[in-house]
Structure 1
């Protein structure tokens, strides 16, 4: 009898994994994804990226509101899947993850046990790490703590953003996950408990990021601010406040920057010259490259300065 899986996921990051799993010939009995929700300014009902792709592949799609409902649990049981595979989905109750005979595995966007939590890619860039990766592991009761199956590493350059790492890790992670599923079915997996790993550095965490966490404090160091901006780009996006020449305070999102360290305290200063626009930090300058003023679209600095005079503006420090 061929082995079967149930795939669970929601966003674009999960689509690549489902795609590569299907291309490898693994049978997908069903796809579980989030219910359709109103989205955008028009609040039109929108399907998840995983549902859209699954329907294109003529796969069975389940969209439970409640993961513990009798209807959903009974439907899962009738599928007789050997393994559940989870990528960027909701936290599963034990009655679900403990169901399949070969267990339930998850793909996580970090080198576990580092960066357990909801935003591992963002925090790795924010913290200025030079390396990240993806991990496959068996789901257990505590989130992101199950036995590790396999890993893949990925370098982080100074030019990378959370967005660029997301896109590369999406592909690398999908390759790792497909390899892991095949190895489980072939009996080639020897999982290791996370508490048996010898770590050279203390554990770093990756909690969910809220809007207040994205506000820039210009009294911080240049590198800290630059890393925060790229670690939150393109989403949820670092932001600050600026007072325009009419005395109005406005929110300003910043997507892309360069930096210069000069060891002078320039906190809160604004410099605009032939080389560009710069915001001061406690030891240098942040050069603005892409930004978005509230109520406006995202622009390059050249487009932005065509309609905004920074020389008459004031930066709100924090």
Structure 2
């Protein structure tokens, strides 16, 4: 991990940073758990957050009770002003934003903003993105980095502009991807790294120590990270074992890579790989002494260690093999 990529001069002492309490005014926008780490880091750094914008409460669960977003729960617990607009272009919401008179807006894991919103503060709007831009622009950068077998990724803070994920870079920090790391594990590591990088970014903006860099002038080439669909998650066993293994890691725990077992959907959450000439056709499976459950790929086997069969709960392979009757 580590390795900040954008050179900055020595940051001013924290107490002198204009965005501290009673200083410059910040609005934070985010919804899921990933964004909570960033909001928490800003709060603990004493930043002057005058508003938190998050998704409206939505019905969920068996009783379809209204559920608050992770960001709203945190904001309410910490006494922050919460806004939950249905439409980001509504006159009422735009008037609320103007009234808050923010100097800078911060976006972490939120929906796309219309220009009238992101261009409102005098210092603009910054975003935290889970890749080393311009690599992996798009909705699923963590997943695609692992699916594509990358050895490293990172976090970028950048200024919003018209085209998604194309704004000038403020700071970046590298993260090494372990050979067995899942998307969920990388997500948890990245949210903490991103949170600290965000605080550095806000401080750097406040004291003018950050030089914005065009994405055209970075060492990285453009790569895309489109939204994940069902077809993305279906395992093609004719692929090399490395590709199948990376797909499983890159989709775990959600939405999960899947195949079919005796006509039922089988999600695979964890596995390891074995490179050898398979004795069965790709897509066929074999069981070894009720302790090993393997599917053949083009040049080896995927040894499943955690799975979920349609209609059953998630379980480790030992429990599955003890209770499942194969057709």
User: Same fold by TM (over 0.5)?
Assistant: yes
State the TM-score, normalized to the length of structure 2: 0.91
Aligned to 1:27: 48
Q: CA deviation at 1:40?
A: 2.8
Q: CA deviation at 1:158?
A: 1.2
Gaps of 5+ in 2: 1-21
Please give the secondary structure, in 1, of the residue aligned with 2:323: coil
Please give the secondary structure, in 1, of the residue aligned with 2:36: helix
In 1: Cα distance, 2:39 partner to 2:121 partner: 18
In 1: Cα distance, 2:62 partner to 2:168 partner: 42
In 2: Cα distance, 1:51 partner to 1:33 partner: 6
Aligned to 2:198: 177
Aligned to 1:315: none
The 5-angstrom pairing of residues 84-95 of structure 1 reads: 84-95=105-116
The 5-angstrom pairing of residues 237-256 of structure 1 reads: 237-243=256-262, 249-256=263-270
In 2: Cα distance, 1:127 partner to 1:277 partner: 25
Question: 248, 255, 261: which one pairs with 1:236?
Answer: 255
**Residues 132 and 153, structure 1, Cα contact 8 Å, conserved in 2:** yes
Deviations 1:265-316 (A, max 9, x none): 7412211113511111111000010000111110000111111144x4xxxx
Gaps of 5+ in 1: 244-248, 313-318
Q: Indicate yes or no: 2:128 matched with 1:107.
A: yes
The 5-angstrom pairing of residues 109-128 of structure 1 reads: 109-128=130-149
In 1: Cα distance, 2:110 partner to 2:37 partner: 14
Aligned length: 304
Please give the secondary structure, in 1, of the residue aligned with 2:295: strand
Question: 258, 268, 284: which one pairs with 1:269?
Answer: 284
Q: CA deviation at 1:38?
A: 1.2
In 2: Cα distance, 1:42 partner to 1:154 partner: 41
Aligned to 2:238: 219
Q: CA deviation at 1:221?
A: 0.9
Q: Indicate yes or no: 2:176 matched with 1:155.
A: yes
Q: Indicate yes or no: 2:79 matched with 1:65.
A: no
Deviations 1:212-233 (A, max 9, x none): 2101111111110010001000
Structure 1, 58-67 or 262-271: larger mean CA deviation: 262-271
Aligned to 1:306: 322
In 1: Cα distance, 2:50 partner to 2:231 partner: 42
The CA RMSD over aligned residues, in Å, is 1.2
**Residues 7 and 86, structure 1, Cα contact 8 Å, conserved in 2:** yes
**Residues 266 and 283, structure 1, Cα contact 8 Å, conserved in 2:** no
User: Structure with the greater relative contact order (CA < 8 A, sep ≥ 6): 1 or 2?
Assistant: 2
In 2: Cα distance, 1:9 partner to 1:130 partner: 28
